[in-house]
Structure 1
Amino acid sequence: MPILPKDIHAFMAQRVLGQRDVLRLISVAVYKHVSGIRAGNILLVGNSGTGKTTIMKTIHRFYHEHDEMAPFRVMAVLNANILAGEEGDIRTARLFTALEAAVKKQLGENVDRETMRQGLQNATVCLDEVDKISARISGKPNPIGIALQQALLTILEGETIMVPVTVTENGQEVATHVPVDTGRMLFVCGGAFEELYDQVYSLIINRKDDRRLKETTELQRTLEGEVRVTAVTRFKLVDYMRLSDMFAYGMLPQFLSRFTSMAILDDLAKEDLVQILIAAQDSPLRHCRDFFASMGIELRVTQEALEMIAEHALRNTRIGARALREIFSRIMADAEFDPFGQKRLQKTEQGHSLTLDRAMVLERLNR
């Protein structure tokens, strides 16, 4: 049975926490791409730490963990700013240079002309930090951003471009050009668009249009453990943003029209952050456990401690999951420096154990 969009979604949802609706869009786009259907490009909008880079890496992992995806494993992840030279000249050719290198890394250096063409045409391109090529920066025109957006129009539109490459013919390296239909490629672009959040929020609270913030009630627990019912006005860009806000931010209408879907990533919830601590491959908790295991110490963590760390990270919504690393490092710094001097260290049959509990979190975060 062929892989369907829901199968791609299931694979990604195991590795990208939260963002269910965004992953649905990504899964359909990937399915169309590998099925030879015009996929449509996707623009990801989300705060730092909400999962944009993780999504891009997971697409790459999906291609590599399924044998039938071998023709689509060529992928490049680039910062949009590198497409501009130091003198401000536009160098979109760097995108194809990166893809050519990806083809040779995947298939070997001796690639013939047709194999190179197919590799480029089946590629997935992830452009990060596209918010940095806005037509305006700090309220002032950004000529490089305007030029870059315009230069990318043809590539994103889906036209046949003659791409300069070096291939192998009759055992010799040959410089040539291959026709690449960019409409067969999948483009996933992303950016934090940090000023966009402030821009939209300011419009709402200053009543510059018909949008109004909605108030809800939530249960919140203080660091001391007291639970309170609190009226909260929580701003989520996904609930309020309009396409006109992107134009005002500095993204050209022609550029945005090249994207079939604009996906706004939610700030992660407490449950998502707890799950990241427990299960994410680069979780600070996982690394810390490995650190203590090297000394024969088992690091144990209570559920209450995990939730307290997640709640503290939620206060840093602009950096999302990345706040976990700083907070966890602050909590564990003393224990990592002097593991055997910790009062919570206990001797076990296997060696020693150290328990990170609510009291320890409270003690370290209140310093």
Structure 2
Amino acid sequence: MSRMFLPRDINAYLTSKVLGQAGVLRLISVSIYKHIHGLKAGNVLFIGNSGTGKTTVMRAINQFYEDHDELAAFRTMVIINANTLAPEVEGEDRATRLFRRIEARVRALCGGDLTAAQLKAAMENATVCVDEVDKISARVSGKANVEGITTQYALLTLLEGEDILYRTEVVDEDGVRRLADIAVDTSKLLFICGGAFEELFDQVYTLLVNRKDERRLKETSEVDRQPDGTVKVRTVVRFKLKDYLRLSDMFTYGMMPQFVSRFSSIALFEELGREELKKIMLTADDSPLRASRDYFKHMGVTLRLTDKALDLIAEHAMKNTRIGARALREIYTGLIADYEFDPSSSPKLVTTDSGQVLTIDQEAVADYLAG
């Protein structure tokens, strides 16, 4: 490799693509460093509510590989749902199913005619993201989940870093296609597993509320901004899993100790704050505000969202901790729906020297939220 990427270099790149989650990005930067420099991969387990950025981080990692030519050998990256590994398929074990996904990605990047050595090297450089691992818990509704247990064991086999034989078609030195058994060294792959673990939040919270051990909830002060501009300070008990989680909680949830122990880091995603949510609304590629502006522009209308309106949307979304940034879309799409249908009927639409302008202000947001 012509350039030495240090963890701080990787972190700087990821930080430019992901809003918030500084602690998570530092952890994953170290794991990527180990992976691209041939050290034993530091597998990572992501835990975070829906909408906190797990998929965004995975995409940023993929983009990091894509944006640096020196990392071309590491561009094989697959993101799969753990549930796709759960069902039994006759004649195909779960490890083989995952390897086929990796191989398909390798061939898409490198072409179909690969020797055994070329395919082996490319597969061993892969980054594998397994989403929704919380859905393969060993217990569901208090009952044993056989598919979850067997899927955890299948992933455990890969995470243990052993050589696993994988049979597939390759070309030999003469260009002739043939079947070959390739010994894939899984210790060279980087595994990132993640899930919302929603019941884990409830499980730990209930344990604390009922004082089942020595852990206790902590009180904090919060500032609540009112629509009229005034502020109120109140004392609340806000539960953050990061402050209380123990490995024993993961075992109680239904993740096997052997499975959890194969991860060098457990990265807990923070709930997004107001400033992060505002930046997502203003800058994210899939922001509903950006899509809405394009929509109104097509009608010859300039859409403006005032700072105070954006503050109120972000504050309201911040209170919906279970869906994170997705709360922005839920609030905004509901708010803007009537304006999109018939902007001309709204008193918020005015004609200026530069054309028609629709301004969504704090009052409009407050009225919608009150309704």
**TM-score relative to the length of structure 1:** 0.96
From 183, 188, 200, the equivalent of 2:187 is 183
Query: Quick check: 2:208–2:215 contact (8 Å CA) kept in 1?
Result: yes
Question: Alpha-carbon deviation of 1:347?
Answer: 2.4
Question: For residues 223 and 198 of structure 1, what CA distance do their matches in structure 2 show?
Answer: 32
Query: Quick check: 1:136–1:249 contact (8 Å CA) kept in 2?
Result: yes
Hey, what does 1:275 align to over in structure 2?
279
Query: Quick check: 1:165–1:176 contact (8 Å CA) kept in 2?
Result: yes
Q: Which moved more, 1:348-357 or 1:28-37?
A: 348-357
Q: What is the CA deviation profile of residues 118-149 of structure 1, one whole-angstrom value per residue up to 9, with x for unaligned ones?
A: 11000000000001111111111111111111
Q: Which moved more, 1:340-349 or 1:275-284?
A: 340-349
Tell me the number of residue pairs that the alignment of Structure 1 and Structure 2 aligns. Answer: 367
Query: Quick check: 2:87–2:147 contact (8 Å CA) kept in 1?
Result: no
From 57, 61, 64, the equivalent of 1:59 is 61
Amino acid at match of 1:6: R
Amino acid at match of 1:75: M
Q: What is the CA deviation profile of residues 123-178 of structure 1, one whole-angstrom value per residue up to 9, with x for unaligned ones?
A: 00000000111111111111111111112212101111111222233444333221
Question: For residues 290 and 137 of structure 1, what CA distance do their matches in structure 2 show?
Answer: 44
Report whether the alignment pairs 1:128 with 2:131: yes
**TM-score relative to the length of structure 2:** 0.95
Question: For residues 227 and 147 of structure 2, what CA distance do their matches in structure 1 show?
Answer: 47
CA RMSD of aligned residues (A): 1.6
Question: For residues 225 and 175 of structure 1, what CA distance do their matches in structure 2 show?
Answer: 71
Shift in alpha-carbon separation, 1:199–1:164, aligned structure 2, 3 A: same
From 154, 158, 161, the equivalent of 1:155 is 158
Query: Quick check: 2:86–2:136 contact (8 Å CA) kept in 1?
Result: no
Report whether the alignment pairs 1:200 with 2:204: yes
Amino acid at match of 2:57: I
Amino acid at match of 1:323: A
Report whether the alignment pairs 1:328 with 2:338: no
Query: Quick check: 1:100–1:165 contact (8 Å CA) kept in 2?
Result: no
Question: For residues 5 and 352 of structure 2, what CA distance do their matches in structure 1 show?
Answer: 48
From 32, 35, 41, the equivalent of 1:33 is 35
Query: Quick check: 1:78–1:126 contact (8 Å CA) kept in 2?
Result: yes
Please state whether the residue corresponding to 1:14 is helix, strand or coil. Answer: helix
Query: Quick check: 1:126–1:187 contact (8 Å CA) kept in 2?
Result: yes
Query: Quick check: 1:15–1:280 contact (8 Å CA) kept in 2?
Result: no
Report whether the alignment pairs 1:366 with 2:370: yes
Question: Alpha-carbon deviation of 1:203?
Answer: 0.7
Shift in alpha-carbon separation, 1:118–1:349, aligned structure 2, 3 A: farther
Question: For residues 224 and 136 of structure 1, what CA distance do their matches in structure 2 show?
Answer: 49
Report whether the alignment pairs 1:140 with 2:143: yes
Please state whether the residue corresponding to 2:365 is helix, strand or coil. Answer: helix
Hey, what does 1:95 align to over in structure 2?
98
Query: Quick check: 1:44–1:262 contact (8 Å CA) kept in 2?
Result: yes
Amino acid at match of 1:298: T
Identity %: 54
Q: What is the CA deviation profile of residues 233-262 of structure 1, one whole-angstrom value per residue up to 9, with x for unaligned ones?
A: 100000011111001101101111110001
Q: What is the CA deviation profile of residues 187-238 of structure 1, one whole-angstrom value per residue up to 9, with x for unaligned ones?
A: 0000111000011001111000000111111111234544101001100000
Hey, what does 1:246 align to over in structure 2?
250
Report whether the alignment pairs 1:16 with 2:14: no
Question: For residues 345 and 253 of structure 2, what CA distance do their matches in structure 1 show?
Answer: 53
Q: Which moved more, 1:325-334 or 1:83-92?
A: 83-92
Question: Alpha-carbon deviation of 1:10?
Answer: 1.2
From 89, 111, 116, the equivalent of 1:113 is 116
Question: For residues 353 and 32 of structure 1, what CA distance do their matches in structure 2 show?
Answer: 52
Question: For residues 142 and 352 of structure 1, what CA distance do their matches in structure 2 show?
Answer: 59
Hey, what does 1:234 align to over in structure 2?
238
Question: Alpha-carbon deviation of 1:271?
Answer: 1.3
From 287, 294, 298, the equivalent of 1:294 is 298
Q: Which moved more, 1:355-364 or 1:73-82?
A: 355-364
Please state whether the residue corresponding to 1:355 is helix, strand or coil. Answer: strand
Question: Alpha-carbon deviation of 1:296?
Answer: 2.3
Question: For residues 362 and 178 of structure 2, what CA distance do their matches in structure 1 show?
Answer: 65
Question: For residues 86 and 348 of structure 1, what CA distance do their matches in structure 2 show?
Answer: 64
Q: Which moved more, 1:21-30 or 1:223-232?
A: 223-232
Shift in alpha-carbon separation, 1:177–1:223, aligned structure 2, 3 A: farther
Query: Quick check: 1:331–1:361 contact (8 Å CA) kept in 2?
Result: yes
Query: Quick check: 1:163–1:180 contact (8 Å CA) kept in 2?
Result: yes
From 312, 337, 345, the equivalent of 2:341 is 337
Report whether the alignment pairs 1:304 with 2:316: no
Please state whether the residue corresponding to 1:281 is helix, strand or coil. Answer: coil
Q: Which runs of 5+ in 2 are unaligned?
A: none
Query: Quick check: 1:110–1:168 contact (8 Å CA) kept in 2?
Result: yes
From 305, 318, 325, the equivalent of 2:322 is 318
Question: For residues 9 and 351 of structure 2, what CA distance do their matches in structure 1 show?
Answer: 46
Please state whether the residue corresponding to 2:52 is helix, strand or coil. Answer: coil
Question: Alpha-carbon deviation of 1:86?
Answer: 5.5
Please state whether the residue corresponding to 1:343 is helix, strand or coil. Answer: coil
